[in-house]
């Protein structure tokens, strides 16, 4: 019987996003979510979701949104003058891309210092333990990924014995479903006009052809903090519409597609 993991990224990026992901997990299809432990809403998000049955909670290593957990003077190569992380757009504008695939890109020169990036990554994982009193089910990249940030993620995962969920689909072990409703360009108008429910219906044959597959989504409500933090904003309301859709739930059930998570699937 085919199974599907619906994952919600960016927990705690804003309070509205947290509330939307909570709805997606309690009333919808989401069975895994990754938290930004550096964001102000992380403590609320942990309290709200830590005990939800059937929900795996991982950590999204975040190096481009908000402020680092470490003082800015300890990670000067990761931040702007105001102490906030450089955004992915700023990094791409300042560092030439010389190769890569999708969000996994090689830059010359490399934009992430190894020592500083590793220190911040460890701090974010340590914060997860402090918030949840347990390890994250998985580690996952957020947004832009460079050769060094990928190396650091794997170093921290090896130190703590954690699953890097990206490796599941990058290795071909578990297929990652496409998100054809994420367009390019993807401004506010394109996000309003996106139709993930129809697009996902067209993926059902593919879901049914695999023993297990993963769908990464970004559900949430929209608030001013989200508008300031991410160019992925309005689409979160559309993704929430998708993962709470009774029609989609019925279509999955009619095809015998079960919802699962990394733990239940024996991956973590």
pLDDT band at 116 (very low <50, low <70, confident <90, very high): very high
Asked if pLDDT for residue 134 goes beyond 90, the answer is yes
DSSP 4: E
Rounded distance between C-alpha atoms, residue 105 and residue 89, angstroms:
13
* Angle made by CA atoms 3, 18, 43, in degrees to the nearest 5: 115
pLDDT at residue 102 in the model: 85
155: domain CATH number is 3.20.20.370
DSSP 260: -
Give the SS3 label for residue 212.
strand
Asked if pLDDT for residue 204 goes beyond 90, the answer is yes
pLDDT at residue 264 in the model: 98
Please indicate, yes or no, if residue 236 is contained in any of the structural domains: yes
Please indicate, yes or no, if residue 66 is contained in any of the structural domains: yes
State percent of the chain over pLDDT 70. 100
Please indicate, yes or no, if residue 98 is contained in any of the structural domains: yes
Please indicate, yes or no, if residue 190 is contained in any of the structural domains: yes
Average pLDDT over the chain, rounded to an integer = 97
Please indicate, yes or no, if residue 264 is contained in any of the structural domains: no
Q: Read off the pLDDT of residues 220-260 as tens digits, 9 standing for 90 and up.
A: 999 999 999 999 999 999 999 999 999 999 999 999 999 99
> Which of 217, 218, 207, 219 shows the shortest CA–CA distance to 258?
207
Please indicate, yes or no, if residue 267 is contained in any of the structural domains: no
Total count of domains within the chain? 1
Please indicate, yes or no, if residue 255 is contained in any of the structural domains: yes
Please indicate, yes or no, if residue 153 is contained in any of the structural domains: yes
> DSSP string covering 37-50, please?
TTSTTHHHHHHHHT
| Distant-in-sequence, close-in-space partners of 246: CB < 8 Å, separation ≥ 6 | none
Report yes or no on whether pTM surpasses 0.85: yes
Residues spanned by the domain of 60: 3-259
């Amino acid at each position: 019987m085919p199974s599907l993991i619906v994952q919600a990224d960016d927990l705690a990026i804003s309070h509205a996003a947290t509330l939307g992901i909570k709805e997606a997990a309690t009333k919808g299809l989401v069975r895994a979510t990754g938290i930004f432990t550096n964001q102000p809403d992380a403590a609320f998000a942990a309290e709200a979701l830590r005990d939800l049955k059937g929900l795996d909670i991982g950590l999204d290593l975040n190096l481009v949104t908000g402020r680092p957990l470490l003082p800015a003077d300890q990670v000067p190569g990761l931040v702007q003058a105001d102490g906030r992380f450089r955004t992915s757009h700023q990094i791409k504008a300042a560092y030439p891309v010389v190769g890569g695939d999708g969000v996994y890109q090689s830059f010359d020169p490399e934009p992430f210092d190894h020592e500083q990036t590793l220190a911040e990554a460890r701090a974010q994982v340590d914060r997860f333990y402090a918030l949840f009193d347990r390890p994250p089910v998985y580690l996952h990249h957020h947004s832009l990924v460079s050769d060094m940030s990928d190396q650091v993620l794997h170093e921290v995962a090896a130190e703590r014995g954690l699953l890097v969920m990206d490796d599941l689909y990058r290795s071909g072990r578990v297929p990652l479903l496409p998100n054809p409703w994420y367009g390019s360009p993807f401004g506010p108008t394109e996000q309003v006009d996106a139709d993930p429910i129809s697009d996902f219906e067209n993926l059902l044959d593919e879901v049914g052809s695999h023993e297990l597959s993963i769908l990464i989504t970004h559900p949430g409500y929209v608030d001013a903090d989200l508008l300031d933090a991410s160019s992925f904003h309005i689409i979160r309301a559309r993704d929430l519409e998708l993962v709470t859709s009774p029609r989609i739930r019925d279509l999955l059930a009619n095809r015998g597609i079960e919802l699962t998570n990394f733990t239940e699937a024996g991956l973590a």
